């Protein structure tokens, strides 16, 4: 029988791995146009809070999953912000 901690790790693995294809796609194509800055900003903040909660509760599946997810989501957010600045600078250069 699957114990609750193992269930937590399996859930953490699945949700964390779901971000890998998005990060790889963005790194490969450089395209962040379809990424919502507001959504990813709020998501990163929420994952950070889940990480803090996991640390406070000493709940390792929550800590591990949210630490990795936070890293991956921050990568996407940073790339999105970088692209926004590049677009704005390109528009200013044309004007």
What's the chain's average pLDDT? Answer: 90
Average pLDDT over residues 17-41: 89
The answer to whether residue 41 is domain-embedded is yes
Q: How many domains does the chain have?
A: 1
The answer to whether residue 94 is domain-embedded is no
* Full-model pTM: 0.82
* Parent domain of 71: 4-87
The secondary structure of residue 35, as a DSSP letter, is S
The answer to whether residue 92 is domain-embedded is no
CA distance 20 to 92: 34
The answer to whether residue 32 is domain-embedded is yes
CA distance 19 to 17: 5
pLDDT tens, position by position, 37-46: 999 999 999 9
The answer to whether residue 95 is domain-embedded is no
CATH code of the domain containing 63? 1.20.1280.290
The answer to whether residue 93 is domain-embedded is no
């Amino acid at each position: 029988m699957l114990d609750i901690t193992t269930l937590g790790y399996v859930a953490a693995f699945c949700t964390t791995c779901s971000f890998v294809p998005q990060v790889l796609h963005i790194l490969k194509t450089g395209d962040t146009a379809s990424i919502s800055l507001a959504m990813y900003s709020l998501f990163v903040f929420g994952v950070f809070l889940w990480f803090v909660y996991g640390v406070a509760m000493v709940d390792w599946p929550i800590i591990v999953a949210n630490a990795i997810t936070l890293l991956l989501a921050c990568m996407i957010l940073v790339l999105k912000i970088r692209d926004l600045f590049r677009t704005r600078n390109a528009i200013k250069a044309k004007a």
